[in-house]
Structure 1
Amino acid sequence: MQAFTTLNSAVIPLDRANVDTDAIIPKQFLKTIERQGLGKFLFFDWRYRAGDLTDPNADFVLNRVDLQGAQVLLAQQNFGCGSSREHAPWALADYGIRAVIAPSFADIFANNCVQNGILLITLPQETIDTLFLAARAAPLQVHIDLAAQELRSADGRRYAFDIAPGAKHKLLNGLDDIQMTLAHADVIRAYEAERSRQMPWLFREVQHG
């Protein structure tokens, strides 16, 4: 998993509340268990006309020419609600989104984002409204410093944000739960070896036949 330390990017202003995971990545794209390749289907029903990948909707924010390559999504409250599909953060990450800013997030979605290296920044509604106002006029550039827990906009305004210590550690070091466990591999092997010595009957192969 890619570590998150600092990020400079334009903001993609998606001014919609209660964006659910089916809107982020529709159900027809959930057949794969691969994390790659889902980015082109991100916000599929809003991003393309009549479900045609060759016919992008020019009115949808992801299709704005001046926002191509932007890695920060700005959204409204309850982002990521709905089903618990991990394909939603997979699609965001594959598109290139490294951070999402909103007033609130669905809990399961938030946990899935941490596991996939996406930083979620929760800010008060008043601050979100200020950022949207700035982002509508022209591409809004922001700087995110995770270690300092600070978002800085191009006009010099600084916004502090909270994050759980465990999530912060995972993101700063690029660790998901599996990698966190593997960091203790030597201790786990030593425990299993001692357990095998003390209770060898648990480790005997079953003879068939």
Structure 2
Amino acid sequence: MEKFVRLEGIAAPLPLTNVDTDMIIPKQFLKTIKRSGLGKALFYELRYNEDGSENPDFILNREPWRKASILVAGENFGCGSSREHAPWALLDFGIRCIIAPSFADIFYNNCFQNGILPVKLPKAEVDRLMAVAESDMPELAVDLEKQQIEAPNGVTIPFDIDPFRKHCLLEGLDDIGLTLQKLDVIEAFEKDYAERFPWL
């Protein structure tokens, strides 16, 4: 998993509440178990017209937000079914950080497992960042080490994060990575176990 230390990039505004995982990536794209290639299906029904052409009014189809790496969203982002394809699609598109007043629990946890930083902030602070994302200079910097978001106008907004989650993102560790940190202990156990119970 790619480390997350500091992210500087375009922030896209998505001022919608209760964005569910089916809106993030519709069910017809869940047939694959590959994490790559799902970015083009992100927000499919909002991004594309019925004939498959791009909807020019959708924010991620417009410059400079086409290159967004940060998403500023409304309350209860990621609700609905627990599909892990949702963070996969966001990450494949290039989104590494989502800022919202609240998240659905399963989606929130899945973000961390896939190297995406979900930041919870009071609605008033999200509204301030939404205004930046909608402006002519929609750039933000998200500093995980300092636990703060920096806007071009000099505004700095601190955020809280669980220390263990922070450590895992800074080091690029998912569950497999955490397990591999104990590889020497696991191998020593397996060697000892095989010697003590050779008939197994």
Give the alignment partner of residue 188 of structure 1, picking from 186, 189, 192.
186
Give the alignment partner of residue 165 of structure 2, picking from 154, 164, 167.
167
Partner-residue secondary structure (3-state), 1:137: coil
Q: Within 1, Cα distance between the matches of 2:61 and 2:21?
A: 20
In the TM superposition, residue 51 of structure 1 has moved relative to its aligned partner by 5.9
Larger Rg over CA atoms: 1
Aligned to 1:30: 30
Q: How does 1:93-132 map to 2 (within 5 A)?
A: 93-132=91-130
Structure 2, gaps ≥5 residues long: none
Structure 1, gaps ≥5 residues long: 204-209
Report the AA paired with residue 116 of structure 1. Answer: N
Aligned to 2:12: 12
Q: Deviations over 1:85-120 (max 9, x none)?
A: 100000000000010000011111111111110011
More displaced stretch, 17-26 vs 62-71: 62-71
Alignment coverage as a number of residue pairs:
200
Q: Within 1, Cα distance between the matches of 2:151 and 2:175?
A: 32
In the TM superposition, residue 193 of structure 1 has moved relative to its aligned partner by 1.4
Report the AA paired with residue 158 of structure 1. Answer: T
- Is structure 2 residue 167 aligned with structure 1 residue 177? no
Report the AA paired with residue 87 of structure 2. Answer: P
Report the AA paired with residue 133 of structure 1. Answer: A
Distance 1:105 1:183, change over 3 A: same
Aligned to 1:63: 61
Q: Deviations over 1:12-51 (max 9, x none)?
A: 0001000000000000000000000000000000000116
Q: Within 1, Cα distance between the matches of 2:33 and 2:74?
A: 29
Report the AA paired with residue 92 of structure 1. Answer: L
TM superposition score normalised by structure 1: 0.92
Asked whether the 8 Å contact 1:69–1:96 carries over to 2, the reply is: yes
Aligned to 2:131: 133
Percent identity for Structure 1 against Structure 2 = 52
